[in-house]
């Protein structure tokens, strides 16, 4: 009851409820920090997983900080090979007999190059898994972090998409390469999942939602609190991605309360 009262209080502060036609999408934030990277989120049928990468001597390593890099934790071992495996097993799809697709968000932690060029070379050998023009069920590869300037998007193959910045203006052609918009939640509101928050903060949140949706793109907030109350509020406000550091709890919540989130 307390959670429902809080939810209603928050929604009363918002100028509109922007739940669009799409269901909530689940994103495994910093997925490589799970006990079992990739597979934990995959088993819960997450829509998106995130890997932070560093390029060292031509090899992509997965880690949040350079100092924590371990020789065995390569992008190829933790993500490329598992993805190739499931696509082989499932007839060219992420899940057998399912039209659900998977997004791979790759966070470039240092300079754009040579990191992005190395990734492109690695994935280009498997277009049937990573290129939607070859396979409509292919993994959508999205670059975030130190991405190239929008004018340089055309330098990379069409199967490489980019994470958008709400503060930038994109040309129509550049916008075609944007897969989603991501933004730090704390930049818009200081609400941490408790209390009502401020009306001004919620108005900023809704402005961000509206700006992303007006360009035909989904929105993901990072740096946001995570709880059952937050799951409810984000869904009700039309925030497309639930950025989760607790994939098992997040998936269980939405699965257990599926009737609440039916369109």
The proportion of the chain whose per-residue pLDDT surpasses 70, expressed as a percent, equals: 89
Residue 257 confidence (pLDDT) above 80? no
Q: What is the arithmetic mean of pLDDT over 229-239?
A: 90
Residue 2 confidence (pLDDT) above 80? no
Domain hosting residue 241, numbered range:
24-253
State pLDDT tens for residues 136-170: 999 999 999 999 999 999 999 999 999 999 999 99
- CA pair distance 174, 150, nearest whole angstrom: 6
Tell whether 201 is covered by a domain.
yes
Tell whether 262 is covered by a domain.
no
Whole-number pLDDT of residue 23: 67
Whole-number pLDDT of residue 21: 40
- CA pair distance 83, 80, nearest whole angstrom: 5
Q: What is the arithmetic mean of pLDDT over 203-215?
A: 96
Instruction: Please give the structure tokens belonging to residue 95.
Output: 């899940």
Whole-number pLDDT of residue 94: 98
Cα separations in angstroms, 161 against 33, 53, 142, 214: 24, 16, 5, 19
Closest CA to 41 of 33, 99, 159, 182: 33
Residue 201 confidence (pLDDT) above 80? yes
Whole-number pLDDT of residue 15: 47
Whole-number pLDDT of residue 19: 42
Average pLDDT, the chain: 91
Tell whether 150 is covered by a domain.
yes
Whole-number pLDDT of residue 260: 61
Q: Number of folded domains in the chain?
A: 1
Tell whether 3 is covered by a domain.
no
Q: 61-65, 126-130, 164-168, 227-231: which range is least confident on average?
A: 227-231
Compute the C-alpha angle 50/55/60, nearest 5°.
55
Tell whether 19 is covered by a domain.
no
Residue 47's CATH number: 3.20.20.190
Tell whether 1 is covered by a domain.
no
Tell whether 189 is covered by a domain.
yes
**Backbone φ, ψ for residue 108 (5° rounding):** -80, 115
Tell whether 120 is covered by a domain.
yes
């Amino acid at each position: 009851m307390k959670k429902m009262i809080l939810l209603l209080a928050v929604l009363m502060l918002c100028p509109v409820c922007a739940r669009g036609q799409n269901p909530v999408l689940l994103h495994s934030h910093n997925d490589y920090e799970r006990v079992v990277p990739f597979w934990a989120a995959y088993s819960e049928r997450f829509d998106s997983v995130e890997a932070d990468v560093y390029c060292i001597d031509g090899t992509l390593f997965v880690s949040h900080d350079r100092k924590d890099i371990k020789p065995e934790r390569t992008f190829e071992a933790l993500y490329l090979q598992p993805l190739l495996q499931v696509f082989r097993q499932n007839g060219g799809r992420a899940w057998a007999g399912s039209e659900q697709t998977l997004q791979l968000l790759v966070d470039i932690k240092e300079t754009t190059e040579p990191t992005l060029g190395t990734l492109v070379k690695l994935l280009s050998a498997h277009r049937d898994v990573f290129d939607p023009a070859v396979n409509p069920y292919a993994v959508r590869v999205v670059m975030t972090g130190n991405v190239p300037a929008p004018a340089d998007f055309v330098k990379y193959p069409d199967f490489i998409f980019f994470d958008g910045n709400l503060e930038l203006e994109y040309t129509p052609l550049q916008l075609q390469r944007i897969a989603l918009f991501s933004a730090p939640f704390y930049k818009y509101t200081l609400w941490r999942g408790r209390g009502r928050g401020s009306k001004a903060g919620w108005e900023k949140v809704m402005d961000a939602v509206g700006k992303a949706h007006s360009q035909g793109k989904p929105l993901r907030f990072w740096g946001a609190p995570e709880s059952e109350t937050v799951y409810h509020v984000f869904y009700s406000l039309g925030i497309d991605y639930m950025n989760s550091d607790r994939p098992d709890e997040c998936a269980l919540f939405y699965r257990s309360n599926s009737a609440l989130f039916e369109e």
